[in-house]
Amino acid sequence: MAEPLTLALSKGRILEQTMPLLKPLGIEPLEDPATSRNLVLPTSDPNVRLIIVRATDVPTYVAYGGADLGVAGKDVLLEQGGHGLYEPVDLGIARCRLMVAGRPDADLEGRRIRVATKFVNVTRRHFAAQGRQVDLIKLYGSMELAPLVGLADAIVDLVDTGNTLRANGLAPLEPIADISARLVVNKGSMKLKHRAIKPMLGKIAESVDRNA
Ligand code: ADP
Ligand code: PRP
Ligand code: MG
């Protein structure tokens, strides 16, 4: 009897871009995850089930063993620290960049600035590495609004096409990190379910190479 595995995914781009990587392994959800209200989804592989969680909760589920594996953005892993997890495969999906952004004419030098972001830990580290102390304002979304209404001098957010920044009259100012989604694995599962997980990692890496 093969070992049952639980894989944590988040709705939206992670789910949409992970499915094609799993299909060659014979893992396809038996109901449409985009429309289903079920949070536990059986797949065409009787030993693999998906659970649907918030993107920022994936590392928590996997670290505590609520799932054996998961797919998490590197931004989330950098912000939360990635404790208790292995991060064996860069899936190369959900690519974007973490950036400092602000008004195109923003002068951020020579004074203490206010930075609004949901990535407070990454932001603190980024400016500390430059020897700068900044005042952090924690937000949970719509960061682009903050410089427009004078809440902050700059933001730290994810940028892909730059359309969201442009639409709000903002510009990218400094890159922080290139981001893509990573396969994460519970450390205990990696040992105890090695026989199931090891070949799966290999096959997913092959899917990623074919995708590249
Ligand atoms: P959330 O509801 O948390 O915003 P998303 O599906 O938008 O969920 O984001 C999940 C992950 O996808 C993020 O952690 C990040 O790694 C990546 N991501 C977010 N926005 C973009 C984007 N515009 N382009 C590409 N990847 C993105
Ligand atoms: C993400 C991110 C930015 C935007 C950047 O938002 O938070 O706002 O994408 O992408 P762009 O540079 O291509 O415009 P998302 O689309 O995930 O919406 P959300 O606010 O629901 O997270
Ligand atoms: Mg988003």
| pLDDT over 90 (residue 51) | yes
| pLDDT over 90 (residue 194) | yes
Under the banding of pLDDT at 50, 70 and 90, the label for residue 212 is confident
Q: Output the average pLDDT for the chain.
A: 96
**21 CA from centroid of ligand 2 (Å):** 23
Query: Which ligand is the nearest neighbour of the Cα of 159?
Result: 2
Distances in Å between the alpha carbon of 1 and those of 14, 45, 46, 47, 66?
30, 13, 11, 9, 21
Question: Which residue, 99, 122, 144, is CA-closest to 136?
Answer: 122
Q: Which positions ≥6 away from 106 have C-beta within 8 Å?
A: 147, 153, 154, 173
Cβ of 159 below 6 Å from ligand 2:
yes
Which atom number of ligand 1 is nearest to the Cα of residue 74? 16
Cβ of 158 below 6 Å from ligand 2:
yes
Per-residue pLDDT, 145: 97
What is the ipTM, given to two decimal places?
0.98
Q: Percentage of the chain surpassing pLDDT 90? A: 94
Under the banding of pLDDT at 50, 70 and 90, the label for residue 43 is very high
Per-residue pLDDT, 71: 98
Query: Which ligand is the nearest neighbour of the Cα of 142?
Result: 2
Cβ of 159 below 6 Å from ligand 1:
no
Cβ of 55 below 6 Å from ligand 1:
yes
Cβ of 140 below 6 Å from ligand 2:
no
Which atom number of ligand 2 is nearest to the Cα of residue 159? 12
Under the banding of pLDDT at 50, 70 and 90, the label for residue 52 is very high
H, E, C per residue of 157-199: EEECCCHHHHHCCCEEEEEEEEECEEEEEEHHHHHHCHHHHHH
Per-residue pLDDT, 147: 97
Which atom number of ligand 2 is nearest to the Cα of residue 166? 14
If one residue of 19, 158, 166, 178 were mutated to test the ligand 1 pocket, choosing by the most ligand atoms within 8 A of its CB, it would be 158
What value does the mean pLDDT take over residues 71-80? 98
Per-residue pLDDT, 34: 85
Per-residue pLDDT, 110: 87
Under the banding of pLDDT at 50, 70 and 90, the label for residue 1 is low
Cβ of 176 below 6 Å from ligand 1:
no
What value does the mean pLDDT take over residues 162-167? 97
Cβ of 75 below 6 Å from ligand 2:
no
Per-residue pLDDT, 165: 98
